[in-house]
Structure 1
Amino acid sequence: MSAVIPYQPLPIDQSDVRYAHGPDSVARPGVPAGETIGFTWRDSAVYPGTVRKFWVHVPAGYDPAEPASLMVFQDGWWYLDPEGEVRGGIVLDNLVHRGDIPVTVGVFVDPGLFPDAEHPKNRNNEYDAFDDRYAEFLLTEIIPQVTARFSITDDPDRWGICGGSSGGNCAFTAAWLRPDRFRKVIGYLSSFTQMPGGNPYPALIPAEPPKPLRVFLQAGHRDLRWNAPERNWLANNLRVAAALAEAGYDFRLVLGDGPHSPNHGGVLLPDALRWLWRPDGAAP
């Protein structure tokens, strides 16, 4: 059966567009709120000297007897904040409660900081790199803190990773290099062009044997340097999407208006999660 989409006029000014959140991005009556537990991590071997916070959100439907799915979010608090654009905990509560996705524990990880350093942020070093350090950091340092406390499935088809801007290419890189662990990916306005040495994926994706990934991408018409000949965020997202299409990947690209803002991606999170967790064999 065809999906009928209501008419929506296109904005003339694409530089200042804001999308309205849908009902799954607000706390809904009758939906029990999950539990959010905060942690501080100071003992990183992968990123020595860094300190960071992370949060684990456990939906009310969690049952220790039934291992839960896992979704990791970069830029932790930005993606968890119930007053922010993404509202990850609220979205997980709503979708799990209605059965749209399996019971899924969300892990929201802040980038590392060097306390008292003149330039304390380690975000770009962690997120923009083309190596497996960040995946290794998650797998050996953060996720073990979660699995020690909660029952999480070992099935990589039920592990996902999400991020925006540099966190988006970070999510894609973690899954690309470690598809044995992460197989569902959300990348919002990914900063592929900011990776040292440039964006490797348009050449890599068709050159390597297909990986068992399911990828949801969002790009913006007025993303950074959208009409520049070099370091163009929009163009690089389109090139990655084209490579995935030509290589036959299970992927979806949603192109919106507006600038380099988490608003559109945040609004899309409920639909992105439903699409990622649709049953195998369902229409892509």
Structure 2
Amino acid sequence: MTSLCKLRGVTTEIPFGPLPSDQSDVRYLHGPDSTVQEGVPTGTITAFEWNDSTAYPGTSRKFWVYVPAQYDALEPASLMVFQDGQFYLSPDGEVRGAIVLDNLIHRGDIPITIGVFVDPGVFEDVEDPDDRKNRNAEYDAFDDRYVNFLLDEVIPEVTTRWAITDDPDRWGICGGSSGGNCALTAAWLRPDAFRRVICCLSSFVQMPDGNPYPALIPEAPRKPLRIFMQAGHRDLYWNEPEWNWLANNLRVAAALAEAEYDFRLVLGDGGHSPNHGGVLMPDALRWTFRPTGAEQTGA
């Protein structure tokens, strides 16, 4: 049995796989693009500490810059920013960002891309472990404070050392959970900078004044964004009338569809786990960075 879909006039065959009966306890297996491959050159990773933020006074954080082996200073690279940087970078985690970039760049599936993996800020002088974290204040807010923090503080530290294109069609931003709505908000408010978005299991429901996007997207002039979304059938409060992570992701996707955005939604099983989004990361990057001239319907 084969499921067929049309892609640029060519039929793509997808192998049959039975759907699991239990949607709450599902784990997806990583593909070869998420594992170290023989003969693939390894990029370099440089760690930075940022303890003097203007946007978020009193916070400290780390960020890491991945530079592919193929980088040439004479050819400005594309840029991909990942929230929750250490988690997205860990070679033993669900996303394995540097490994994925190594494989995709080596094969020419995406352009030569510098990855910036940024951790959320913490208040080092605060004892309570919950109060120390500034993650939700940074990621869930619907304002331009965080994206301007990236543009004014973090990215200049990168561009003084490595050449990055100024083409916003080659700048992407990615995150999961609260980092997912953070990624969409960054691109929504600053499409002059970021136009490629990957958001997984986004916590739109946690935004302080509620999820603005279902109402906002159809009313605003269409922005030049390309958006990859991943959502889960059993995300938090999936069958509740309030605080429903799944429903809010579906409402955002519906608004994007009705407003004729270049977007893709992948809906999987499982709960509020980074597993599925991590497994999808190679495909998400390929789709997000596909050539601008590619056919927009289904590509």
Q: Determine the C-alpha separation between the residues in 1 that align with 2:34 and 2:181.
A: 24
Alignment of 1:22-171 (within 5 A): 22-117=31-126, 118=128, 119-171=131-183
Question: How far is 1:225 from its partner?
Answer: 0.4
Task: Report the Cα offset of residue 116 of structure 1.
Answer: 2.6
Residue 256 (structure 1) aligns with: 268
| Structure 1 residue 278 displacement after superposition | 1.0
What's 1:172 paired with?
184
TM-score (structure 2 length as normaliser): 0.94
Query: What is the identity, as a one-letter code, of the residue corresponding to 1:214?
Result: R
The residue identity in structure 1 corresponding to 2:249 is N
What secondary structure is seen at the aligned counterpart in 2 of 1:281? coil
Give the SS at the match of 2:99: helix
Distance of 1:74 and 1:276 partners within structure 2? 17
Structure 1 outlier segments of 4+, above 4 Å = none
Matched letter for residue 12 of structure 2:
A
Distance 1:59 1:269 in 2: 17
**CA-to-partner distance for each residue in 1:211-270, whole Å, 9 max, x for gaps?**
000000000000000000011000000000000000000000000000100000000000
Deviations 1:23-56 (A, max 9, x none): 0001100001100000000010000000000000
Does 1:275 pair with 2:284?
no
Letter of the 2:259 partner, please give it. Answer: A
3-state DSSP of counterpart to 1:70? strand
TM-fit CA distance, 1:277: 1.1
| 1:280 CA drift (Å) | 2.0
The normalised TM-score by structure 1 is 0.99
Question: How far does residue 195 in structure 1 lie from its aligned partner after superposition?
Answer: 0.1
Q: How far apart in 1 are the matches of 2:171 and 2:287?
A: 14
Q: CA separation in 1, counterparts of 2:293 and 2:56? A: 40
In 2, distance between residues paired with 1:231 and 1:180?
A: 32
Supply the distance in 1 between the matched residues of 2:11 and 2:170 (Cα, whole angstroms).
28
1:32 & 1:196 partners in 2: Cα distance?
44
Aligned to 2:235: 223
What amino acid sits opposite 1:152 in the alignment?
Answer: I
Q: How big is the shift at 1:273?
A: 0.5
- The Cα shift of 1:279 comes to 1.3
Task: Provide the aligned length of Structure 1 versus Structure 2.
Answer: 284
Deviation at 1:282, TM superposition (A): 1.7
SS at structure 1 position matched to 2:33: helix
The residue type paired with residue 154 of structure 2 is: I
Percent identity over the alignment is: 75
Aligned residue among 169, 180, 189 for 2:201? 189
* Amino acid across the alignment from 1:50: T
Q: Which amino acid aligns with 2:172?
A: G
Could you tell me how far apart the structure 2 residues matched to 1:258 and 1:133 are?
33
SS class of match (1:19): coil
Give 1:147 deviation, angstroms. 0.2
Residue 19 (structure 1) aligns with: 28
Is 2:243 the partner of 1:234? no
